[in-house]
Amino acid sequence: MPSINSGSVEIHYEDTGGDGRPVVLVHGWPLSGASWSGQVPALTAAGHRVITYDRRGFGQSGKPGADSAYDYDTLTTDLDAVLTELDLHDVSLVGFSMGGGEVARYVGTYGEGRVHSAVLAAAVPPCLLKDDAHPDGALTLDDIAGMQEQLRADPEAFYGAFLTNFFSAGDDLKVTEEQRQEALGLAAQADLHASAECIRSWVSDFTGDLAKVTVPLLVIHGDSDAIVPFEVSGERSAQAVANSELVVVADAPHGLNVSHAAEFNRVLLEFLAH
């Protein structure tokens, strides 16, 4: 299996190859690069070189457990390792959900020298934390601690409920049960410690990172997202970046790249054509 060493952690990746402009897809929690299966063929058919990778602790990547931090500064070193090892330039970075944090932090930390454009899809920036400094946020630290505790106590039950909500708009599941089960299968590959620690990273503050984004930015979000509410994430990210395009997908849940794959791919390809 192809992998790249990031520090002491082996990062599994998939690369379609080719001479087209590269697109790097950064997956959401608690999944893996395989969660982009509805996008890779469409992007490849459009002529792009497509790279997916598994976040440390997830999918087929190394699982360092308690020996690794899972804050965004650490996680973004893995994205940087992929771009550096594969010598990628003029890249479009596409981050879904938690993966949007790596995209924002990459630009904030490493700059835009390798970056052509960026996409935040149902993504956590600019800041989901709700506290005195962020009174309009979505999640308190107590909320985070409660989720971590529930996950550690019964991973199967937690993932089952989470991924149902992940793919639901209101009370309606917007994917097939087979698709939900596929996501559960990906979640089952995650290291439990890594998975729980990443929950704490969801409430990182990316305000400073977004302030450094000058390349074209697409923000795409479902209006029925019950995991990362649009009003505290996508809407604010689009407002924070002057060179941004906002697309809100009607009746779409958090996992809109699966539930609304055709519309998601159309919007993404139109943006990447520039």
> How does DSSP assign 150-216, residue by residue?
HHHH-HHHHHHHHHHHHTEETTEE-S-HHHHHHHHHHHTTS-HHHHHHHHHHTT---HHHHTT--S-
The Cα–Cα gap between 199 and 257 comes to: 21
pLDDT tens for each residue of 205-214: 999 999 999 9
Provide the pLDDT for residue 258.
Answer: 98
pLDDT tens for each residue of 70-127: 999 999 999 999 999 999 999 999 999 999 999 999 999 999 999 999 999 999 999 9
**Which among 97, 195, 204, 237 is annotated as catalytic?**
97
User: Among candidates 80, 79, 87, 90, which has minimal Cα distance to 117?
Assistant: 90
Provide the pLDDT for residue 1.
Answer: 78
The Cα–Cα gap between 24 and 53 comes to: 8
Provide the pLDDT for residue 85.
Answer: 97
Can 193 be counted among the known catalytic residues? no
**Which among 27, 48, 134, 254 is annotated as catalytic?**
254
Evaluate the CA torsion angle 93, 94, 100, 102 in order and state its sign: negative
Can 254 be counted among the known catalytic residues? yes
User: What tokens were used for 247?
Assistant: 């697309």
The Cα–Cα gap between 224 and 272 comes to: 25
Contact indicator for 268, 220 with CB cutoff of 8 Å? yes
Can 12 be counted among the known catalytic residues? no
pTM for the model stands at 0.98
CATH number at residue 189: 3.40.50.1820
Question: What is the CB neighbour count within 10 angstroms for residue 249?
Answer: 21
The mean pLDDT value of the chain amounts to 97
- What's CA 56's distance to the chain center, in Å? 13
- Structural domain including 43 reads 3-272
**How many domains are contained in the chain?**
1
CA neighbours within 13 Å on the CB side: how many for 179? 19
User: What tokens were used for 248?
Assistant: 């809100």
**Which among 78, 134, 225, 259 is annotated as catalytic?**
225
